[in-house]
Amino acid sequence: DKTVDIGVSLEKLQSLADAAHQKFKDDTDGKNADYIPELAKIPSELFGVCIMTVNGDVITVGDVDYSFAIESVSKPFTLSMLLRDDGYEAVLEKIGVEPTGLPFNSVAAVELHKSAVNPLVNAGAMASVSMVDADSPKARFEKILSYFEEFADDDLTVIDSIYESEAATNWHNKGIAWLLDSYGKLYADPDEVCDVYTKQCSIGVTARQLATMGATLANGGQNPKSGKRLLPTDQVPKLLAIMLSCGFYDGSGQWACEAGLPSKTGVGGGIVSVVPGRFAIVGFSPPLDEHGNSVRAQNAIKYIAEELELSLFNGRN
C-alpha cells in the first residue's frame, strides 16, 4: 500500500492533540450523564484524544485506553451495515434521512412523520437494528457486535453494568419502538429490538478503538489497519452526509458551522469526527453539556478542526 497524503504531518497532529488536551483538561464544565447510576460513577476527569489516519497511523494523548459505553456513537455503524446490505434507497424509504429539529427521543417527530425520520435519533437507531438481517435477537446482536469489532479491528464486549441499568429503564425507547411498529416502520419484534439496541449502546470502546472505527469511514469504508472493506465506497458519502446533518441532534446545524465535520456524539462521553480521505478524530471525556455532548471532547475536536481548517466547507487546500 502506498501512503496517502493526509495534508498534515503526524508531528503537527500530535502537537495539536497535545495542545487540545492541555487546553481543556482543566475545564470542569458539564457533568456526567446521570440517568443511570453507572454513568454517573465514571471518573469525570478522564479525558483522551485519539487521531487515526487513513494510513493507520495513530496519535494519542490522555485516557485513550479507558473503555466507555459507546451509546449513540454506535448508531452510524449499524447504519453502515444497512447501507452495505440494503443500500441507501432502502434506508431512505424505511427510515428516512432528514434532521428532525427536535430532541433525540422525540415521539412527536415520529408521529408527525409516521416514521423514524433519520437513523441517528433513537427511533431511527432502533429501526436500523430491526433491519439487520438475523434469525434471532442473539444473532442480531452478535452480527452487530462482530461488525463493530471489524471496524475497531479489536475485540469488543458489552459493559454489563451499563447494559443492566439501561435495560431496566429503557421505557421511553420501548414506547418509541412500539409506535414505530404501529406505523409499520419497525422491522422486527419491538421488545427484542429495544433490547438489542440497549445492548448495542452498552458496548465498551476505547478512544483508540473508536478512532479506528472512524478512520475506516475516513478511508472510504476500508479499515486502515486490517485492510478489510466494511462498506462500499459509494455508500460512504451518504453515511457521512447523514452524520453531518443529524449527528448532533438538535445541535447539528451549529456543529456543522463550527466544526464542519461529520460526527457522532454519545452520552458515554465519546465523540467521533471524520475528515474524509484523511483521518478520524475521537475525543472522550464524561462530563456533558446541557445538550448531552461531552464538553472536553467537543472543544478538543473543534480546536483541532479550526487549527487545520478541516471543515468540509473550506475549499480544497
Per CB under 8 A, residues contacting a second copy are 7, 54, 88, 92, 96-102, 106-112, 117-118, 171-172, 174-182, 190, 218-220, 236-238, 240-242, 244-246, 250-254, 256-258, 260, 262, 276-278, 311-317
* C-beta separation of 217 from 274 below 8 A: yes
Smaller CB separation from a second copy, 96 or 292 = 96
Smaller CB separation from a second copy, 50 or 215 = 215
Q: How far is the CB of 109 from a second copy (least distance, A)?
A: 7
Say how far apart CA 224 and CA 73 lie, in whole Å.
Answer: 20
Q: How far is the CB of 299 from a second copy (least distance, A)?
A: 16
For residue 49, give every residue at least 6 positions away whose Cβ sits within 8 Å of its Cβ, in sequence order, or none. 17, 20, 21, 59, 60, 61, 62, 64, 207, 281, 282, 283, 284, 300, 304
Smaller CB separation from a second copy, 260 or 269 = 260
Smaller CB separation from a second copy, 43 or 237 = 237
Smaller CB separation from a second copy, 48 or 214 = 214
Say how far apart CA 137 and CA 107 lie, in whole Å.
Answer: 25
All three cell numbers of 240: 457521512
Count CB neighbours of 317 within 10 A: 7
- Buried (b) or exposed (e) across 74-107, using 16+ Cβ within 10 A? bbbbbbbbbbbeeebeebeebbbbebbebebebb
* Helix 207-218 and helix 137-152, axial crossing angle in degrees, nearest 10: 80
* C-beta separation of 31 from 73 below 8 A: no
Smaller CB separation from a second copy, 42 or 236 = 236
Say how far apart CA 15 and CA 29 lie, in whole Å.
Answer: 24
Kind and range of the H or E run holding 300: helix 295-307
Q: How far apart are the first and last CA of the chain?
A: 24
Q: How far is the CB of 207 from a second copy (least distance, A)?
A: 22
Count CB neighbours of 314 within 10 A: 11
Smaller CB separation from a second copy, 57 or 149 = 57
Smaller CB separation from a second copy, 223 or 285 = 223
Smaller CB separation from a second copy, 133 or 234 = 234
The residue to which cell 487540545 is assigned: 20
Choose among 17, 19, 38: nearest CA to 286.
Answer: 38
